[in-house]
């Protein structure tokens, strides 16, 4: 090798590790909390930051498209005519950092500790999304070009249910034409053990409002003779599961695709550390639907959870009151072939049927997303497997993920695209929780994986 030999993109990425990490630190400093109107300007700033990085990485036609709420960042690199086209999706918005007092270090002051970068969004999804931009930058810096065409879509509303993405995707369907999509927004099963996620759960998210008396009552004067809406709501929620942990909503399981023996065996073969699971959950043991393993319960079975419940008097001290109203937020994680809107309607009808006399029920559908499943034999997954193996030295396992990435179903339905879930997170990354982190090694190896994936795609798709 002569001293002047130009590095390959992967060699360049290795030399550029410190600078790439510094860029990720800049990115996570921006508190792009999509749900909080007070952070709207920060979300916009994160979009501009990302657009600038895309331009610097060599993307063309980069733009920040406004929507009714938070913008969508688009960019492309179309310098490989005749070669396949890859649509890259990621999100630059983050969950709120609450409860802030439980963070060891401030959520928007990235901190390196024990080989991980701690910050809100480090893993979900800024660190993972940025691997794709850094990969393009590595080609450009190494004076090479990717062997495929690239279209980048980064949204700022993923964590609030992507209310404006579908219309944008449909309006730009022709421009978004591609051969395959790639998304890095999932977890590997264990450090250093890559996994290809081939199924994601969907979501149906409801808010329930129950009303008893039209105004609060003295609980001594009226208690015991008037139905209490908080008591009633708790009884209704308690009836949503049976003793076997199954959801009791009529019709709920009808469209659920059963697990066959081959898939059960393949899920059981992926490493699952029950101890690490309990530590990550901080739970004494696992709970769930009878007849299924924890892995199956989280990835392949639908669930129902109360996310919040409130009503009546919740201030300090005691107040004897029989409240007029009680509220709950309920979410259901769905699996193929459940439909988010159908399940929402079934749940609302069931809640109304469970309401005792004297209690009115109102159900609002907050947001949802369809479940998704990718064919494990899709040729692009071969490129993903080779890329993971090259970067992590280990062949990936196939897993199903309990979380939701509704764009996967949307890209399938609106654009006919299969999505490769090329994730680099870990189950203990504390997503949506205090002390979110991203393994620094997974960030750098993630960049190398993306480069190796793009390099392997033309042959895999040929
Ligand atoms: N990155 C997650 C999805 C995820 C979670 C993948 C855990 C793998 C493991 C994503 O940002 C997310 O949180 N999605 C929401 C979607 C919802 C708001 C429609 C979710 O799953 O709650
Ligand atoms: Zn995410």
**Cis, bond preceding 306 (omega within 30 deg of 0):** no
Q: Could you list the beta-strand ranges (E) of 171-324.
A: 180-183, 195-200, 202-211, 217-218, 303-311, 321-322
Residue with tokens 């952070």: 39
In eight-state DSSP terms, residue 179 is S
Residue with tokens 């190398």: 448
Q: pLDDT digits over 178-234, tens only?
A: 999 999 999 999 999 999 999 999 999 999 999 999 999 999 999 999 999 999 999
**Domain limits, CATH 3.30.70.360, in the chain:** 202-256+302-368
Mean pLDDT of 19-34: 98
Can you say whether the dihedral through the CA atoms of 391, 395, 398, 403 is positive or negative? Answer: negative
Residue nearest to atom 16 of ligand 1 (CA): 404
Answer yes or no: is pLDDT of 4 > 70.
Answer: no
Q: Specify the CATH class of 9-200+371-461 in words.
A: alpha beta
Q: Which of 404, 406, 436 to mutate to test the pocket of ligand 1 (most atoms within 8 A of CB)?
A: 404
Residue with tokens 């499943």: 373
**Domain limits, CATH 3.40.630.10, in the chain:** 9-200+371-461
Q: Model-level pTM?
A: 0.93
Answer yes or no: is pLDDT of 5 > 90.
Answer: no
Residue nearest to atom 14 of ligand 1 (CA): 404
369 lines ligand 1 (CB under 6 A): yes
Calculate how far, in angstroms, residue 205's C-alpha sits from the geometric centre of ligand 2.
Answer: 17
In eight-state DSSP terms, residue 160 is G
Find out whether 133 and 53 touch, Cβ atoms under 8 Å.
yes
Answer yes or no: is pLDDT of 2 > 60.
Answer: no
Residue nearest to atom 17 of ligand 1 (CA): 161
In eight-state DSSP terms, residue 317 is S
Residue 103: closest CA among 120, 128, 91: 120
Find out whether 124 and 425 touch, Cβ atoms under 8 Å.
yes
Quote helix, strand, coil % in the chain, to nearest 5: 35, 25, 40
Q: pLDDT digits over 421-451, tens only?
A: 999 999 999 999 999 999 999 999 999 999 9
Answer yes or no: is pLDDT of 374 > 80.
Answer: yes
Mean pLDDT of 90-116: 98
Can you say whether the dihedral through the CA atoms of 263, 265, 270, 274 is positive or negative? Answer: positive
Q: pLDDT digits over 239-285, tens only?
A: 999 999 999 999 999 999 999 999 999 999 988 888 888 888 887 77
Closest ligand (CA of 90): 2
Quick one: pLDDT at residue 3?
54
CA dihedral 91, 95, 96, 97 (to 10 degrees): -100
Q: pLDDT digits over 394-431, tens only?
A: 999 999 999 999 999 999 999 999 999 999 999 999 99
> What strand order describes the sheet that includes 360-369?
303-311, 325-334, 202-211, 360-369
Which of the listed CATH numbers 3.40.190.10, 3.30.1490.20, 3.30.70.360, 3.20.20.70 matches domain 202-256+302-368? 3.30.70.360
Calculate how far, in angstroms, residue 232's C-alpha sits from the geometric centre of ligand 1.
Answer: 31
């Amino acid at each position: 090798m002569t001293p002047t030999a130009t590095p390959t993109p992967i060699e360049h990425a290795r030399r550029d590790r410190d600078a790439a990490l510094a860029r990720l630190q800049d990115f996570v400093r921006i508190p792009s909390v999509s749900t909080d109107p007070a952070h709207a300007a920060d979300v916009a700033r994160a979009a501009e930051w990302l657009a600038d990085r895309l331009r610097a990485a060599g993307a063309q036609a980069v733009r920040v498209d406004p929507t009714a709420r938070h913008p969508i960042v688009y960019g492309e690199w179309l310098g490989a005519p005749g070669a396949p086209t890859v649509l890259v999706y990621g999100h630059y918005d983050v969950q709120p950092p609450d409860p802030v007092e439980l963070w060891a270090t401030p959520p928007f002051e990235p901190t390196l500790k024990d080989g991980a970068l701690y910050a809100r969004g480090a893993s979900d999804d800024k660190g993972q999304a940025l691997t794709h931009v850094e990969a393009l930058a590595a080609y450009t810096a190494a004076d090479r070009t990717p062997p495929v065409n690239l279209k980048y879509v980064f949204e700022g509303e993923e964590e609030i249910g992507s209310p404006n993405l579908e219309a944008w995707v449909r309006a730009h369907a022709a421009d978004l034409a591609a051969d395959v999509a790639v998304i890095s927004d999932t977890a590997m099963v264990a450090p250093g053990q890559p996994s290809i996620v081939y199924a994601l759960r969907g979501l149906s998210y409801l808010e329930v409002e129950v009303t008893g008396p039209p105004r609060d009552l003295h609980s001594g004067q009226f208690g015991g003779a008037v139905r209490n809406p908080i008591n009633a709501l708790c009884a209704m929620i308690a009836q949503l599961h049976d003793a076997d942990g199954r959801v009791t909503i009529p019709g709920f399981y009808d469209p659920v695709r059963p697990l066959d023996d081959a898939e059960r065996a393949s899920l059981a073969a992926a490493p699952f550390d029950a101890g690490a699971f309990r530590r990550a959950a901080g739970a004494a043991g696992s709970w769930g639907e009878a007849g299924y393993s924890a892995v199956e319960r989280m990835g392949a079975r639908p669930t129902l959870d109360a996310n919040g419940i409130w009503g009546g008097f919740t201030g300090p001290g005691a107040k004897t009151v029989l409240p007029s109203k009680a509220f709950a937020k309920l979410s259901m994680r769905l699996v193929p072939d459940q439909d988010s809107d159908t399940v929402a309607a079934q749940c609302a009808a069931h809640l109304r049927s469970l309401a005792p006399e004297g209690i009115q029920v109102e159900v609002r559908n907050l947001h949802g997303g369809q479940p998704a499943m990718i064919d494990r034999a899709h040729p692009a997954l071969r490129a993903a497997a080779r890329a993971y193996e090259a970067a992590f030295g280990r062949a990936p396992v196939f897993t199903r993920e309990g979380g939701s990435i509704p764009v996967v179903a949307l890209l399938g339905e609106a654009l006919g695209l299969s999505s490769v879930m090329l994730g680099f997170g870990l189950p203990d990354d504390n997503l949506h929780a205090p002390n979110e982190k991203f393994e620094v090694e997974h960030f750098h190896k993630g960049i190398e994986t993306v480069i190796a994936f793009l390099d392997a795609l033309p042959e895999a798709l040929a």
